[in-house]
Amino acid sequence: MQDSASSSELRALLACGLLLLMAALGGGCATVRPEEKEYLAEPAMSWSSGGIAKEHEDHMVDNREGSFGGESSPAGGCGCN
């Protein structure tokens, strides 16, 4: 029973990994030209727009939950670093 659960988790993990790999490779094909990045460069579209306030919230909420991680990363994305 335990082996079956482990192997199903492993399959799910592999499927997720494959999906991510395909998406990452596919990402290289998507092209947004520099002159089309006006809206992506808006502050409201930035993934790093939370500031210290977001760090505080994550810190407080993490202490009220049994899980962690997987939240957004402040890694660029507006194409204009």
Partner 1 sequence: MQLMAQRRHQRQTECLRSGAVGMRHAQASHGRAHGWGARCGWCALALGVVLGVAAPGAAEDSVGAASSVFNESGGPLHMTVVVPTVKASKDLGQAVTLRAGWTADVVSGASVAVVDAPAAKVDAISSATVTDTRHAFNGSVEVHDGLAALAVGYTHAFENDYLSNALNVSARTDLWDRDTTLQISYARAFDEVCDLAGSFDPVMKPRLDSSKGCFSDHKTRTEHDLASHTWQAAWTQALTPILSLQVSGSAQVNHGFQSNPYRAVRIGRTAAQEHHPIDRARYSLGAGLRLWIAALGGSLSTQARAYRDTWDISSLSGELGYDQTLVAQLRLRLRGRYYTQTAAAFYSDDYVLDPRGQYFTGDRELSPLQSVLAGPALLWTAPTDDRGHVLGVLSGFELTLKGDVLKTYFNHFHYDKAPVPNTFALIGTLELHGLF
2 belongs to the binding site for partner 1 (CB under 8 A): no
With beta carbons less than 8 A apart as the criterion, state whether 25 and 38 touch: no
3 belongs to the binding site for partner 1 (CB under 8 A): no
Q: Give the Å distances, CA to CA, from 10 to 4, 5, 23, 50, 72.
A: 10, 9, 20, 34, 24
d(CA 26, CA 33): 16
Site for partner 1 in 53-72 (CB under 8 A): 53, 55-57, 59-61, 63-72
d(CA 40, CA 33): 11
Shortest separation between residue 7's beta carbon and partner 1, angstroms? 15
- The residue within the footprint of partner 1, chosen from 10, 14, 16, 22 (CB under 8 A), is 16
Site for partner 1 in 23-52 (CB under 8 A): 23-24, 27-28, 30-52
Q: Which residues bind partner 1 (CB under 8 A)?
A: 9, 16, 20, 23-24, 27-28, 30-53, 55-57, 59-61, 63-81
